[in-house]
Amino acid sequence: MRLLTLTEYCLLIFFTGFYLAVTGFTAKDIGLYIGIALIYIFSHIFSKRLLEKRGKENKQVHLFFSVLAIIGSVFITVLCIALVASFSN
């Protein structure tokens, strides 16, 4: 897997989880689709610019590290959502 793709996936997982938590998991139809599309567009642009600055946009990442990064992204997302929810009450 390319590092660019992995970075996009991790950012998409994190910000989509946060978007759904902020909307209270009630986003439906066009609002949900537009929100996820905007999150993907911004994560793609940010990832591409970040990795192009460092010259690593075509670097390959091993499958094991890709799986660890995606699992870590899910874990961090759930942790942040739990922390925000616990402090809001």
Query: Which uninterrupted H or E stretch holds 25?
Result: none
- Full domain range(s) for residue 28: 1-86
pLDDT-based confidence at residue 89 (cuts at 50, 70, 90) = low
Question: What's the number of domains the chain is made of?
Answer: 1
Distance separating alpha carbons of residues 82 and 42, to the nearest angstrom? 24
Written as six digits, the tokens of 54 are: 């460092």
pLDDT (tens digit per residue) in 16-67: 988 888 887 777 788 888 988 999 999 999 999 999 998 888 889 999 999 9
